[in-house]
Structure 1
Amino acid sequence: MQLVRAQRPEIASAVRRTLAGVNLPALPVTLRFWDGSVLEGGAPVVEVRGPEAIAYVLRSPNQIGLARAWVTGAVDVPDDRDLEAILSLRGSFRIDLSKLDIARLGAAAVRIAGPALLRRAPVPAIEAPRAGRLHSLTRDKAAIQHHYDVSNRFYELVLGPSMVYSCAYFAYPGESLEAAQARKLDRICRKLRLAPGERLLDIGCGWGSLLIHAAREYGVHGVGVTLSEAQAALARERVAKAGLSDRIEIRVQDYREITDGPFDKVSSVGMYEHVGRGELEHYTAAVHELLAPGGLFLNHGIARLHSDPPAADTFIYRYVFPDGELSPVTDVMTAMEGSGFEVRDVESLREHYPLTLRRWVANLAANRDAATAEVGEQRARVWRLYMLGSALGFEEGDVTVYQVLSARDGAPHGLPLQRVEALRAPACERTVRTRERRGGEVPAHTNGVPHR
């Protein structure tokens, strides 16, 4: 739909007159309209670039309308500092309009921007399809491919050379992302007590970074599964380049389709969020069946902390993680215990995730032109908004991220008496420290645990 641009000057004045009789709180932002007029409010500036913005919000006066206006560029906030200030208001600024108020605003919008507003504005092409039974194999694969099969090069630009798309583990706030991601991978290997010859299953293996680290530094044989064809292709290339093709297999496969257990250890990093709250028991039961008695299972995932379950239709669901759902960590632990696991260790990494996300936001900003060339303007805008908003969510305690280590019943788990001993891995420690020195990073200790 091509909307006719309004020729009347001073749109801000018309909006001001319309809002005078509507029960609205003080405007926390300043609006700059497409004719150059400005409606003064709070310090952050929002650019309303055309009547299309009004059309989206008029048709969907909720988060989806605003999301569509943002994705298409009809609404923009060019400065990241302004965008962060606006996102920080999301919990305090509420609009409660009566049906009469909505009708008045709609009529005024038509007067300002023309009758074309009465027609439905086009839905952005990158909005996720939502067809089929929720969390069926087919729908889950479509949801994963929507997010991950966009461009491996795009993810390289955002994530950096580690190609790790989950929370890093920082020794100090100014540490490099690469060093922190290497520390995270090693921490997972230590918690799992990986040993040469063991068989490791990595559910949601991404681009293979954890498996490569585990095979190279701990001598395991690994199987990684992902539903993303693009991820699998690059993961296999990276495995081959590392000379580990004889020890690592990458599959395009759902965890529910794996039949060649048992595995000695199982990791799942940043994957369970795609499982769904109603599927947690099935997920942990499936892992239990794939794991040898006494084997260890580490689940690393985002969890709701104080926030309520989100509405069924949000920006994140439509544009970022279709069908993704977050659960309190207690739900994850309950599901584990109900499936025959004993929870052995729980660690919160909440403060580490905003540090990670802000590195990704900076990478996207530094590589904006190249990233946009890879995935298009709309998707680049989605990632900018979602990563910055997510950083604030972790900083404010709306959400968090946990590593939960559990042991399968049926045999001794072999974990040491002291937690510090569970994180010791002298052979790998030398390698990690050497790499950090070469990068100019020499922390006093590794993984937050002193070593004798």
Structure 2
Amino acid sequence: MSRSTLETTGASNDTVEDHYDSPALRLGPILFDEHLHWGYWDEDSRDASFGAAAEAMCHRMIDRTEIGPGERFVDLGCGIGHPALKLAQARSCHVTGVTISGYQHRIAGEKAAQAGFSDRLDFLQADARSVPLPDKSFDGGWFFESIFHMGHAEALGEAARLLKPGAGLVLTDLPTLPHTTPEFMDFVHEHIHSVFVPEDRYPALMADAGFELLNIEDISENVMPWLETKLREAVQEKWSDVVRLMGDQAEKAVDNWYYLFEYMAENLGYTMITARRL
């Protein structure tokens, strides 16, 4: 497949909403065991499935999150709500998830109800750069593999508006590397509606938005080299579910995923970032 084109299935992918509403993107929770983000592997967990590693990544996020019982937390770009549910269970806090996708909004609400957590979880279908909620509504928040769809400065500015002074912010991001190519940047902008920035942009981005940058943790080696191999294992294990969703488009859909993961692993790192609202 040429790197100037990517075969698409489902929606036209004209917008981020179309992208995440498309059948091909619904494969993520199937392959990653209800998560819609990547995993964390090391030598002790090298045999972990993609789903188990995604669960481990979620717990790393929760471990870095300062939020207490009864406090309010915002998940900006919440997907189908699995990390939000895990956080509400772990910390007895109230989580508001924001997703632009109608499909994700519906599934997240259903998952909260099935788990008996509708009193601690609510979900909005909205643009995370313009959330219809008052200033200083939340005691903490995160972007979990979502900020690159939004534009970093605009997204951090909205997070700063929503968070109370002193509130913590945690995010994961995929920074560009010295060898990241312009062709790759054009490709991801066109096909997955993403803009990536180098890690050294973060001090200025956080300061301009009104945050104190606390820590940047580079975990690239625990994520990027594992992606394609672990994805292939997941596809093999869950092939019948893939076919059930995608029908005769199944092979094309998974080939697109393999291609994208390989290309991203070549051009991006992975960081976990913590900050505090000033």
Match of 2:199 among 329, 354, 366: 329
Change in 2 beyond 3 A, CA 1:284/1:363 = same
Match of 2:242 among 371, 386, 394: 371
Secondary structure of the 2:206 match is: helix
Deviation of the 1:386 alpha carbon: 3.5
Q: Which residue does the alignment assign to 1:408?
A: 277
Change in 2 beyond 3 A, CA 1:311/1:213 = closer
Q: Which residue does the alignment assign to 2:230?
A: 359
Taking the aligned partners of 2:51 and 2:184, their CA distance within structure 1 comes to 35
Taking the aligned partners of 1:293 and 1:301, their CA distance within structure 2 comes to 23
Change in 2 beyond 3 A, CA 1:247/1:379 = same
Match of 2:100 among 205, 227, 246: 227
Residue 152 of structure 2 is aligned to residue 283 of structure 1: no
Taking the aligned partners of 1:349 and 1:380, their CA distance within structure 2 comes to 31
Secondary structure of the 1:400 match is: coil
Taking the aligned partners of 2:200 and 2:82, their CA distance within structure 1 comes to 28
Tell whether the 8 Å contact from 1:206 to 1:235 is kept in structure 2 after alignment.
yes
Secondary structure of the 1:257 match is: coil
Larger radius of gyration: 1
Change in 2 beyond 3 A, CA 1:357/1:205 = farther
Where in structure 2 are the equivalents of 1:203-214 lying within 5 Å? 203-214=76-87
Match of 1:144 among 13, 17, 26: 17
Match of 1:175 among 48, 67, 85: 48
TM-score of the pair, normalised by structure 1: 0.55
Tell whether the 8 Å contact from 2:11 to 2:19 is kept in structure 1 after alignment.
no
Tell whether the 8 Å contact from 2:185 to 2:196 is kept in structure 1 after alignment.
no
Secondary structure of the 1:406 match is: strand
Change in 2 beyond 3 A, CA 1:368/1:246 = same
How far does the alpha carbon of each residue in 1:276-326 deviate from its partner, in whole angstroms, 9 at most, with x for none? 3xxx22221111111100111112111111213336753x455x41x2111
Taking the aligned partners of 1:312 and 1:179, their CA distance within structure 2 comes to 30
Change in 2 beyond 3 A, CA 1:311/1:238 = closer
Change in 2 beyond 3 A, CA 1:224/1:391 = same
Task: Give the total of aligned pairs.
Answer: 272
Change in 2 beyond 3 A, CA 1:193/1:254 = same
Change in 2 beyond 3 A, CA 1:248/1:126 = closer
Residue 133 of structure 2 is aligned to residue 259 of structure 1: yes
Letter in 2 for 1:167: W
Change in 2 beyond 3 A, CA 1:129/1:165 = closer
Where in structure 2 are the equivalents of 1:49-448 lying within 5 Å? 63-64=3-4, 67=5, 71=7, 128=12, 130=14, 142-150=15-23, 154-160=27-33, 163-171=34-42, 172=44, 173-255=46-128, 256-260=130-134, 261-276=136-151, 280-306=152-178, 307-310=180-183, 313-314=186-187, 316-318=188-190, 320-321=191-192, 323-353=193-223, 354-368=225-239, 370-378=241-249, 380-391=251-262, 393-394=264-265, 396=266, 398-409=267-278
Tell whether the 8 Å contact from 1:201 to 1:263 is kept in structure 2 after alignment.
yes
- Stretches of structure 1 that go unaligned for 5 or more consecutive residues are 1-45, 47-61, 72-123, 131-141, 410-452
Deviation of the 1:186 alpha carbon: 2.0
Change in 2 beyond 3 A, CA 1:313/1:251 = same
Taking the aligned partners of 2:47 and 2:184, their CA distance within structure 1 comes to 36
Letter in 2 for 1:292: K
- Stretches of structure 2 that go unaligned for 5 or more consecutive residues are none
Deviation of the 1:228 alpha carbon: 1.0
Letter in 1 for 2:182: P
Letter in 2 for 1:360: L
Letter in 2 for 1:271: S
Secondary structure of the 2:80 match is: coil
Deviation of the 1:399 alpha carbon: 0.8
Taking the aligned partners of 1:299 and 1:358, their CA distance within structure 2 comes to 25
Using CA pairs below 8 Å that are at least 6 residues apart, which structure has the higher relative contact order? 2
Tell whether the 8 Å contact from 2:213 to 2:274 is kept in structure 1 after alignment.
yes
